[in-house]
Every structure is written in structure tokens, then in C-alpha cells.
Structure 1
Amino acid sequence: MGCFRTRVRTLSRWHIHECDELCLVSGSGIRLGHAGAETKPSGETLYIFRRGEQHGYWNDSLKEPYMWVLHYRPDEALYRECPSLVSADPSKRILRLDAAQAAAFKSLFVKVLAEHRQTRTGSAAASSAWLRLLLVSVARWCGTETRPKPAAAPQLSDQPIDAEVLALWHLVNDHVSAPADLAGVLKRRVVNYDSLRHRFRKAFNASPMQLLMALRMERAKNLLLESSDPIAEIARLMGYARQHEFTRAFHRAVGCTPTRWREQAAAERRDDA
């Protein structure tokens, strides 16, 4: 999960997940596969992928749009209330969002991830609540519900994202796989960084460097689970020049080596099958 820029000449081959997924593409220039069919998103295009549904993307243009990706467990009770989220017609799960809808999506997205990456009391419940509100909002944008709608969701216009904090958040996300010294980059490129990082910590309960490490480990877990790439290649993709540096950082963050974590995750997946 996370927000990342689709670099020129990058791709994510056809693959499936054992979960559902929201994917907002902000911009144009990529080809995105949805339920086995190829599409060309533009503007603010939201895709809803169901568990086991093939998808992927290819960027062979000179543009680098952002992708906002959330994986989540299916919520059958919510789906009964909001059937548009699970339409059997994949084309009905592709939405062109207007500016207000895109802003609302990104605001809720940031809140989901901020709670997801925290360990304080109630973080899991808060993350689930924000996710549920996001999914209800998406269902309403689909505009195909047949059941009576509950009272309107709280308006987000009075809770805007701090633009400078969001810009810093994007900068951190852009450096997940970059070997550059992020601390040095931030001090050189971000005006009033020392003041801004305090607002950043208040929003995410983590410093920019702590969030960077959490993002790297989360991305590494996805690669370990979804690909057969050797550990050395995953270390390179995460911006580490040496495999042992990645292994040490992963063990410090997760509590075991990448090899051990991959073995345990694969065993759990087999048990769930």
C-alpha cells in the first residue's frame, strides 16, 4: 500500500492479490490492466480490483503519474450495502473522479495510512474506520446503489490536507527505492524543514525518515511475497547497495531476515488456501 510515482520505462506485470484493491491514477501516460483488459487512464481515474482479478501497469511514455494504492480485506457486510463496489462488470469499477472527489479520496487515503502505520492505542480500529468511510464514498461516486442511503458523510473540505505536509509525504514516497541521502535532500530542497517535520510527525506519528523506512519495509514485503526475485535484487530495488545492509535493516524493522519472512509468509498463504 502507498502512493508512488510510476517512473518512465517501469512496469508491474500481470498479477493478482489475495485481497481487494483501490488504485487511483493521478495523471496520464501509463497503460493499466484491469480484469485482463488494457486501459489508458487520464486525469484522476480510480480502479477497484477484486480479489484474484488480474491487473498490472506499463509506463512506456515520458510522463510519471502517481498511483495511490490500498489493499484491504473484503467486507461482505459493506458490499451488501454498497454493491457497486463488487459489480460483476469490471468497467463499472472504473471511475473518473472530479477535483473534489479526488481531493476527498486523497485526504481519506492519507488518514488510512497514517493510522495503519502507527502503534498507538486504537490505531487499527481508526484505520479500519477511515477505510470504511473511503469505501462508502467511492460507492456513492459510482452512483448505482439501490438501497436507501444513510446520512451524508462528513464533508472533508473543512479538514484540508496540509499542502506542505502532503508535498513532503510525496517526496518521502519518491525516495523509497532511491539510494540518495534523503535527510540531505530534505534539508536542501524543503524550505523551513525543521518546522515542517514537526507538523509531519503530528500528522503521521513518525518522522520523514521513520516513514521512509516503514515504506521501504512494506514494499520489500510485497516483493518478497509477490515475486520470486532473489534477496539481492530486492535489496537493489529498495535502494541498498549491499544485500547485508538491507538484511540488517529488515531484521531490525521486522524481527527476522528477509529469507525467513518469505518462508513464513508463503507457509501462511498455503495454509489459507
Structure 2
Amino acid sequence: MIDAFLQLSPVTQALLGTLFTWAMTAAGAAAVYVKNEINPKHLDATLGFAAGVMIAASFWSLLNPGIEMAEQMGQIPWLTAVIGFLGGGIFMRLTDKFLPHLHPGLKMEQSEGVKTSWQRSTLLVVAITMHNAPEGLAVGVAFGAVGADLPSATIGGAIALAIGIGIQNFPEGTAVSMPLRREGLSRHKSFLMGQASGIVEPIFGVLGAVFVLTMQPVLPYALCFAAGAMIFVVVEELIPESQRVQANIDLVTMATMIGFSVMMLLDVSLG
């Protein structure tokens, strides 16, 4: 099976990789069929874990390879990294400013983006979907980089990134479906909307792979861009949401470190 996967085109690999991350989101969302609520302490810990995975992935799988590729391609490494990284953050800031969404646990009047008549449940799903987009982009760019035959890009590293994103998508799927269930939606509808938050990952994964394969000079920028987008999500959303309860901060901190360690282990061992 591994050999067959390696024979596929980078775009197909990116599609399969992000279909896996989407499936993990769906698996997490399916927890709504088993129980109605998730312990707030457990939810905070899972958000912290997801933050740790994304921070590690941003450096080990995206920024570091991007800097190495920039050097190999004759670019100014630090300048490429800064432009790409800040570009990803600015893109997510503009998305956050204009796209209507509502973070879990907040009241309707605390929704962000332009004013809309969308229902609360829709705004909740959009909030999670927003940070799934850069995750899908990151996986797609990683597989596209392998297809570009640059020495610093490895198939093991791309697979490690997909596995890491998939692992942290499982609790995220639960974190979406459970609040929807509390909003009064049926179990089935809560699951469908919860897993739907991950559907953007295959879309952005394929787009990312196609983009870097057709425009290879911007590949280092694309890797750093994906890293910047993911760090924005961590700082703007995951960490603040996970630390709303003062008593859980130590637990969240350790969960973040564990998530970082898991992703680092995957990337270093496979990449």
C-alpha cells in the first residue's frame, strides 16, 4: 500500500492526505452519537493539544523546509520567511475580520466578521472551518514540495504533517459537534455539520499542491505562508479559547507541550 501511494502524483497524494484529515474530523464529530456533552476541562486540554501540534507543524514541516528551499533556490532565506509568514497571518486576519463566525462558548452578540442573518450553528461551524483551511493548505503544499524534487522536501515529512493534523482534528471534530448538540440540533445534524467543518481541507490541499507545482519559485513563500496562517489561528483562537477557565491553564499548558512533542516526534522520525 505504501509503495502504491508513493507512485501517485503529488496532487493525488495531497488529496488522499487531506481526505484522511477530514475523516479524522468526522470521527471526532461522531462522538456526538455516544454522549451529549464533553467535559470542559477535557475540551480545553484538547484545544491545547491541537495548538501544540500546529505550532510544531508550523516550524518543523513548513517554516524550516521553506527557509532551506529559499536558500537552495538562490533567494534571501530570511526575507522569504518573513514575507511568507506575515502574509499568511495577514490573510487570516482579513478573513477573521470579514467572514462571519462565532467561537464556541460565546454569545451571539460576540460574533465576528460582517453582520449577517446566519444562524448560531452556522457561525459556529464557520469558526472551525476557518482554521481548517490553512491546515489543508499546509498538507497540500508539503506534498507539492515533494513533487518539485527539492532536497529539503521529503515524502515522510509530508506524511508526518498529514498524520499530525489528522490527530489534532479528532478532538476538534468533537469540539464542533458537541456545542451544536447543546444548541438543540439532533445528533445526526450535529455530526453532519461537525464533519463539514473539515471539508475545506481536501479542497485547499489540492489547490495548494497544484499551485506550488505550477509556480515552483513561490514554493518557499507558500510553505512560510501556511505556517503564518496556522500560527495566527493558534494565537488568535486556540490558546485564548483553551485558557478561558483559570483553573485549567496548567493542564492546557501541558497538553500544548504534549501536542508539540507528538508532532515533533512524527516529523523528525518520518521526515
TM-score by length of 1: 0.27
Choose 1 or 2 for highest CA Rg.
Answer: 1
Higher relative contact order (CA 8 A, sep 6+): 2
Bigger fraction of residues in strand:
1
Structure having the larger proportion of residues in helix: 2
